[in-house]
Amino acid sequence: MWLSYELTGRQVFYQAACQQSQSFSRRLASGCDLQHHDIGFLYLLSHVAAAQIAGLPESGATAMAAADRLLARYLPGAGILQAWGALDDPQEQGRAIVDGLMNLPLLHWASSTSGNPRYRDAARSHAHRTREQLVRPDGSTHHTYFFDPLTGQPLRSATHQGWSDSSCWARGQAWALYGFSLNQRHLPELDLLDTSCQIADYFLAHLPADQIALWDLSLPIKSSEPRDSSASAIAACGLFDLAEQLPAGARRQHYHHAALRLVQALEQHCAARRPQAGGLLLHGTYHRQAELGVDECNLWGDYYYLEALARRDYGWQSYDRTSRQPISMTAIAQ
């Protein structure tokens, strides 16, 4: 809703965004379903966005409180943010998942806004440990990984939504591509762009001819298994972000053109039409192994598809940047 308001200036989107943001405030205050790292997704795209786009002061305070809640999931001994569950949950203790990279920008925003380095320090450690253990030598990624919560000793990899523990879950690969690129701006000392490029190369090399990812990249390219359009949408955003940070030249052009191909493919094969569809992007897959949300629109697919279009057409910038340039209404009008 905030992105739609930024793109159009229409009050109907502003009012809807405010209503949803108020709901997120109540959720934070009551602690409703917050035993996970996706607090970063939730409050960057709701309250940090609200503070930056609409200048709502209470949204900045809510986002900072959300960052504190996310930071509380940091395990100093392991150097990671625990992904799911209570911190003393024996089934979830010490689990990091590749999606976690996308939650770190809220911590970077909190450090930049408050001047307190502890948010950034936790994000830096988590990004380092993720690259160290969740990225395979060939550029593919593990979905989840367990560390000893006290000593940080690497224990074992596993999957939750992928085909197998040794496969490469497509959406996780896209999260990694985009996540390392986003974190590079805040952690240049880690030199994360090469990692993001390696992950991007693997993702692009395992796409079918129509560029819409299968739900797991380890499946045969000509498999009849369901696609996950949301993975291609997320990857497109990551490729635009990655290309923007690379120096001018062939490498930058390569990833920018790859992003353009993905967006064109999504427009051609997956763009929904009203009122027949209940979303923006068809052919998403939430959890194939559990037969949940297979071949349908989903929230993150819709969001990242719209973001990819905004990046392509208007040079949209992510909300974690404290010096972010808003989209020009003049450019949109033209």
Residues that are catalytic? 38, 99
| Alpha-carbon torsion, ordered 176, 177, 180, 184, to 10 deg | -170
Question: What distance in Å separates the CA atoms of residue 170 and residue 176, rounded to the nearest whole number?
Answer: 10
Ranges of H-type helices in the chain: 2-8, 11-30, 39-43, 49-54, 57-71, 104-114, 118-134, 170-184, 193-205, 229-245, 250-269, 299-314, 329-333
State whether residue 9 is helix, strand or coil. Answer: coil
Residues 304/233, Cβ–Cβ less than 8 Å: yes
Residues 3/54, Cβ–Cβ less than 8 Å: no
Q: Tell me how long the chain is.
A: 334
Residues 213/223, Cβ–Cβ less than 8 Å: no
**What's the Cα-to-Cα distance from 253 to each of 9, 247, 249, rounded to whole Å?**
32, 10, 6
